[in-house]
Structure formats: C-alpha cells, structure tokens
Amino acid sequence: MAPAEHSKTVDFGMKLASLMSAPRVSDVPTLDKLTDLELNHLIVEEEEPADAEQPLSYILSWIFRTFTLEVPDVTELQVPLHKIRYRDSRLHDKFAHLDEQSMVPLYDDVNCRWNWALPKSHHESGIDQLPDLEEDGDGEENSGGNLEFGSGESPLTQHPPGVSTTGNDSPKPHTLEDIFSAFFNITCAAVAQKKRTEVMVANSGAVVCTWSACNSVRPVKDQEVMRKPDLALLDDVEARWDTIKAVCELTSQVYTPTGTIGKTIDNKAYLLLRRQPWRRFVLLCSLTNGYRELQVHMYDHAGGVMTPPIHIDNAPNRYLQILSSVVFGSLECIGYDPSISIFTKTLRPAQLEDPTSRPSTNRPPAQGPQAGSLIAGTATPESALGTDSNMEMSDEESLPIDPPQLEIPQDPLRATFSTPIGRIIVNDHAYDILELIFLSQGLVGRGTVCYLARRNGKEYIIKDHWVLGGKDVALNEVKMLGEM
C-alpha cells in the first residue's frame, strides 16, 4: 500500500472484538495450509519492464526509490585474489600465475560469469574452499561501517556457535549456503570499496548488515515453528525472527508458487511479519533454476508481489543493483516504517520457549520453595526427613501451620516501565513505546498493532493499522470513541 494509506490513530482503549486470535501455528504443515488459504489469488507476478534500459521492475523502483547511490558497473569491481575463497578447476587454472595478494576482477566479462565457484546443483563437487589469509594492515579491515575486503563471509559464518569441529580443530566441510553467503558478502565488499565515501554517508551511524548461512543447518530459535532460512541478512550476532532484515532461499529447481520454494518463502514472510509487526512489508529473495535466477518477493498485509527473474550471470548489473539496494539502502528500502523505531529485541527468552506469552510480560515468576511444592503437587517422604514414627511431638509442633501466602500476580498494565523499547511518531508527536500489547494474527488483513506508549509522563494506547481510504476514515474510530 502507498504510504498515504498507512495511518495511525491515538486511542485510550482497545476493542474487545480485536482480541480474537487465529489458531496457534506450531508446525510447518499447518503453516502451509494457513498461508495457502490467506494468499490464494493474492500473489502478483510482475512482467518484464517495457523499457529494456530499465534496470529494475516497477515495484523495485518504487521501494528502492530512496536509494540514490550510483552502483558501479560490474566490470569495475576488483578484489584481492585470496578473497576468492571458493574456487574450481577453472579458477585455479585462470589465476595460477598470480600472487594471492593481486587484485583481480570479480566478474569475467568475456565469458559472462562470476569469478567465484557457484554451483548449479547441490550434488556438484570439485569446489575448494581456501583458508582466509590475514592481511597486513592497521587493523581497520572490518571496523565500524567499513565493509572492506573481509573474508567474504560474515563473522557469523566464519565461526558460527554450535558448529562442531573435528579432532584437529578443522571446520566442517563448506555448504552450498556458505558459498552463496560469502559470494553476496564479497560482492557487497567490492561495491563498498569502490564507493567507499558514498556507502559510509548512506550508512552513517548504522551497522552494516551481512549475509549469514548459520541458520541453514539449525532452525531460528522460536518454538512456535521451526524454520531454517538458507541466508539471513543480519546486523546482530544472533538470527531471530524479530531481528532478521531479509531472507534468501536457494534451490536448483525452477521457481513455482505452489512448489516447495514458494511455500517456504510464504512461511518465512509470515514469520517475519508476525515477529516484526511494525514493518510495512518484508523482502525475501530466491535463487532458483540452477541458482542463477534471482527474484525478489515483497509481502505486506495485502498479499505479495514477485518480480521477474534476473539471471545473475547474464544480467550482473541488475543483480548488483538489487543486492546493493537491499544491503546499503535505508531500512525503509526493506520495509521498515520510518516513523517507528524499535530499540531492543521484542521477543524475550521466555517467549522463545512459550510462544503464547505476550512479548513484554514474560517476566520470571516469583520463586518460592513452599509454592513450588504446592504447584508441583509433591510431598516430601517422612523417611527423607529422618522422622521417627515413635518420636513424640510437642504441643507446639503439633499445631497446624498456616498455608503459605501465594503471590497475586500484578496487572501488567499497571506495572511501571522505565526503559522504552522504541519510539513512534504520530501527528508530529514522538511517543516512547513501552510495550507491544497486541498484534493481529495471520498474514493478510489490517495488520493491527497496539502499543502502550508514553508522552510527557502520560500513557496512551496507540493503534497502528492499515485502512482503506484516507485520514478521515482512519480517524472515524477516534471520533466514535470520543462521542461515547
């Protein structure tokens, strides 16, 4: 939807009817059925641009409109040879006469293919992973917003937590996802090196995102649905559905909306919007048909749009434009609402284990040994206490003891919130977001989110939702509440 149709209303209450929720989704087949029903006839496939000179489709031109960086031509990109860490026999022969510190082109414009060993099938072999060589320098190689030539992989990919090693401490064999995450990252590093000043200005004060393949072998921590994104765009040390910026899925098969790849993308769009309800839309990418056809999938609460496929070998500049826009563009380019800023992770550890818990009310329960015994329904055997059945009890000891006092839980809405989790702008007024108290279920709909907010010491409930019509329609609910 256009930004003009995205309205917010400030309210002092919440309708009880809006508390109805969808069935709990706890497995992939159930999620497949729900997304199939919701997205039926709501996925639009774009046609190729009428203008052959147009690098992007209409929808990508619109959502990337704030990205003004002039992306260099692919033939201008060069990297140190030792940064091309995945090589096959073609690359070994091509660069055999060069020193590892030599600068080499990242793209072979004669043969129209990348100087990176990109497989066309998950059965393909003969790709070698070279060790990462440490460069002599001043230690600023990967500091701050500088995405200069790192290893080609994100720090997460190089040493992912939980990855087992062999007895000689050598890492496990590389995976298909490792190859493509390193390829994406080295491409972005080459762009950043060529346009260093412009990239630093565009990302001033922001953390540069990198592609990670860590969760391609283990699910993102969320007990509601166990899903493993092939590649995740992250600016955090841990992949969580409330922090992942974008997702890319890989398959050697041709893309079909009803196939496995289509269902996978639908499911992950659902999880991203569910865990990040403050986003206008989410972006996902797919590399299909021998891992050469790139498509962008945009989902919002009205459905989805799928762009025409781009062959990354035959149209490298279009691939470069899309990748640069996603990684170096503002957060608005990948669906974040500029009027809403979330400072912290909204999923608490307790909610990762119990998805029915509310985001900000999963505080640890009060610990009490007496209450714990009562709740568990257990009793301590007399033998364990060392009690002698012939022992006489005094009159004082035989008196009944009062039952333990149970702690009455406090109303979470009456609790005080000292640290805001975010900020929202409504009618040019800034409100501190204290808690996410309600969000609608499902993928398609109004996308209603209710925040507990505070401004000038006074608390409000802000209802953020999609409406059909202009501002007058959006404010009609406020007028009705004012008349009640």
- pLDDT tens track for 330-353: 899 999 999 999 987 765 554 444
69-83 b/e with 16+ CB inside 10 Å = b? bebbebeebbbebbb
Q: What is the pLDDT of residue 94?
A: 95
d(CA 198, CA 175): 33
Q: Answer yes or no: is pLDDT of 255 > 70.
A: yes
The type of residue at 478 is: V
Residues of the chain with pLDDT > 90, as a percent, come to: 43
List the single range of 119-123, 307-311, 317-321 with lowest mean pLDDT.
119-123
Closest CA to 130 of 182, 78, 94: 182
**pTM of structure:** 0.76
d(CA 468, CA 59): 20
Q: What is the pLDDT of residue 468?
A: 74
Q: How many Cβ atoms from other residues are within 10 Å of residue 122's Cβ?
A: 11
> What average pLDDT score do residues 298-303 get?
93
d(CA 360, CA 347): 8
Give phi and psi for 134, each to the nearest 5: -75, 130
More confident residue, 236 or 294: 294
List the single range of 306-310, 385-389, 403-407, 432-436 with lowest mean pLDDT.
385-389
List the single range of 91-95, 149-153, 334-338 with lowest mean pLDDT.
149-153
Please provide the average confidence, as pLDDT, over all residues in the chain: 77
Alpha-carbon distances, residue 328 vs 145, 188, 296, 397 (angstroms): 11, 8, 16, 74
CB-based contact 288:254 (threshold 8 Å): yes
Q: Answer yes or no: is pLDDT of 11 > 50.
A: no
- Quote the strand ranges of 227-335, DSSP E: 231-234, 246-250, 282-288, 293-300, 303-306, 310-311
CB-based contact 151:182 (threshold 8 Å): yes
More confident residue, 345 or 12: 345
Q: What is the pLDDT of residue 199?
A: 81
Q: What is the pLDDT of residue 478?
A: 72
Q: What is the pLDDT of residue 290?
A: 95
Most confident of 245-249, 275-279, 375-379: 245-249
* Dihedral over alpha carbons 97, 98, 104, 108 (to 10 degrees): 10
The helix (H) or strand (E) run that includes residue 478 is helix 476-483
Confidence of residue 403 (pLDDT cuts 50, 70, 90): low
Confidence of residue 322 (pLDDT cuts 50, 70, 90): very high
Alpha-carbon distances, residue 477 vs 429, 446, 452, 453 (angstroms): 20, 14, 18, 19
Q: What is the pLDDT of residue 206?
A: 59
CB-based contact 241:366 (threshold 8 Å): no
List the single range of 88-102, 205-219, 314-328 with lowest mean pLDDT.
205-219
> What average pLDDT score do residues 305-330 get?
94
CB-based contact 287:184 (threshold 8 Å): no
410-418: long-range contacts, CB 8 A cutoff, minimum separation 24: 412/358, 412/360, 412/361, 413/437, 413/452, 417/452, 417/454
Up-side HSE of residue 399: CA atoms within 13 Å toward CB? 4
More confident residue, 338 or 26: 338
